[in-house]
Amino acid sequence: MSVFQKRFLKVAKHYAALKEYKSFIDKLDFSFGIDEYEALNVSQRAVLEAYLKRFASLQDYLGAKIFGMLLDMAGR
């Protein structure tokens, strides 16, 4: 398995986790504002924070590990 394939497997794992979090968040049925966030219970906040952390990690990983390889493969 190539380095590129291994990195895409990691992206796929992040994406799968994001889909699970998003599904759970959709079931919570609340608005996304500061006042509404402060009214959430601890477990609801934890889910949102985990989702945001995972999203940020995926963005960082794509920028640091994937896009550079894609540009190299494209010959740019």
CA atoms within 13 A on the CB side of 24: 15
33, pLDDT greater than 80: no
CA-nearest of 2, 17, 22, 3 to 57 is: 17
Residue 3 or 29, more confident: 3
User: Greatest CA span in the chain, whole angstroms?
Assistant: 51
69 pLDDT band, cuts 50/70/90, is confident
30 pLDDT band, cuts 50/70/90, is low
* Paired tokens of 25: 């968040």
Domain count, the chain: 1
Q: Which residues of 38-50 are buried (b: 16+ CB within 10 A; e: fewer)?
A: eeeeeebeebbeb
What range does the domain containing 35 cover? Answer: 3-74
Task: Give all strands (DSSP E) within the chain, no chain letters.
Answer: none
Mean pLDDT of the residues in the chain: 87
